[in-house]
Structure formats: structure tokens, C-alpha cells
Amino acid sequence: MNEQVCLHLNPGDRQLQKLAGSDPSMGALMNAVGELRIPLRTDYFDALVRSIIGQQISVKAAVTVRARLKEAAGVLTPAKVLSLDPEVLRGAGVSPTKISYMHDLSSRITSGELDLQRLPRMDNDEVLVALTAVKGIGRWTADMFLIHSLGRMDVLVMGDAGLQRAARWLHRLPEHGQRKYLEQVGHLWVPYGTAASLYLWEAINLGWVDSGQGPEVWIDNHNI
């Protein structure tokens, strides 16, 4: 059995040391969290379908829909999606709007308009253009694909509300109405925006960001 491909982040790596040098607060967070191993979703079609299904519903609900869809339809391919009776998709909990998105994605792939296997050879901007041409795939979904499927290291997901919140927490930024905190500090993380994003998400997952306590409570041993 092949080992799953992962994006491996180690604070001791040269690239992350450069990131820490540019932003000591981020460096302290990385040291406090330690190594991260992020499994990559290398089945690109499945990854995009998962993203479409998960839009505007909870993670738990998305898992339930995917499980029902797998039980009803088996392994999904673009041709299979197009051949399925829409009632099968609706019966699994996929909304009519999301069905139209899945059909558009599948049609572009089967026609050759979108070649998923070319995406790893394209630069970030080219991938963004190719993916956001698909109905239902916006910038956030495309950015997540760059990180979680292609493993690109230079992606900062500006449209992610959690990251905005975490950036404010890490740098103790004063609250303001526009809440564009990433815009204030994101330049410190170029060209390692992916690492910054993943460590900030992990701080959210650990409960640090929303604890009501400052970063020094959690990473006070790292002198930020």
C-alpha cells in the first residue's frame, strides 16, 4: 500500500526558519505547535467534488452527504456524475444548485476544457483561472485546492474568516470594522503563506485563538 502523500512542515526546516525570522510571532507559534503533516488530496476530481458538497453546510453534514453519495453511486468519476439520475444525487442530500456545479465541473473535464492532470504543471494564477471558471468554484475553494491538493507553499487564503481572526489574535491587532487583518501582516509571510495559514488554522483547532486569552498564554515559553 502506498503511503499517503503529505505536506510536512517542521519548524526546524530552512524555509520555516526564514518565515520565523520575518515574523517572530509566527515563529513562536510554529515552535509551540511543532511539526504538521497535512495529507494531500491527490484525487483532484474527488477533492473538488468534496469542496462543492461542503459549501455552506457543516463538516458533519458534508461527511454524511459524501457517505450517502458513495453508498448510492459508488466511486464518482466525471462520466459517472453526468450519467447518474439527478434523483440519486438529491436522495444523497446534494442540493439542485450543487448538482449543477458538479455537472459543470464534470462536463468541462470530459470535454477536455479542464485537464486536471495539467494543474500541477501550472503556476498558481493559472490554476486559479482554470478552477474559478467552473460554476460553484470561487477563489477560496481554488486556494484550498492549491494547498490541500497541490501542496503549494505560497498560498495565503485571504478570504478565510478564521485566518483573519487568527491573524488578529497572533499579532494582537486592534479590532476594526473591515476585519482585514491578514492584509496588515500577510506581507511578513511571503513566500510561505501556506505554512502561516496551516499554523494559524492549527491554533484555531487547538482552541487557542477563541479562548479569550492572548497568544502569550499558550506560547509564553517562546518569548514573542
Per-residue pLDDT at 115 exceeds 70: yes
Average pLDDT over residues 118-131: 98
Per-residue pLDDT at 179 exceeds 80: no
Average pLDDT over residues 67-81: 91
Fold adopted by 6-40+155-222: Endonuclease Iii, domain 2 (1.10.1670)
154 a catalytic residue: no
- Mean pLDDT score across all residues of the chain: 93
Per-residue pLDDT at 29 exceeds 90: yes
| Catalytic residue selected from 43, 46, 160, 210 | 160
Confidence of residue 3 (pLDDT cuts 50, 70, 90): low
Confidence of residue 1 (pLDDT cuts 50, 70, 90): very low
Q: Please report, for the chain, the start and end positions of each structural domain, with discontinuous segments joined by +.
A: 6-40+155-222, 44-138
DSSP string, the chain: -PPPPEEEE-TTSHHHHHHHHH-HHHHHHHHHH--EEEE----HHHHHHHHHHTTTS-HHHHHHHHHHHHHHH-S--HHHHHHS-HHHHHHTT--HHHHHHHHHHHHHHHHTSS-GGGGGGS-HHHHHHHHHTSTT--HHHHHHHHHHTT--SS---TT-HHHHHHHHHHHTPPP-TT--HHHHHGGGGTT-HHHHHHHHHHHHHTT-TTSSS-HHHHHGGG--
Per CATH, the number for 44-138 is 1.10.340.30
Confidence of residue 49 (pLDDT cuts 50, 70, 90): very high
Confidence of residue 221 (pLDDT cuts 50, 70, 90): low
Q: Which residue would you say has higher pLDDT here, 224 or 14?
A: 14
Average pLDDT over residues 127-143: 97
Per-residue pLDDT at 76 exceeds 60: yes
Per-residue pLDDT at 43 exceeds 50: yes
Confidence of residue 175 (pLDDT cuts 50, 70, 90): confident
Per-residue pLDDT at 2 exceeds 50: no
Average pLDDT over residues 129-156: 97
Confidence of residue 129 (pLDDT cuts 50, 70, 90): very high
Confidence of residue 177 (pLDDT cuts 50, 70, 90): confident
Average pLDDT over residues 41-46: 96
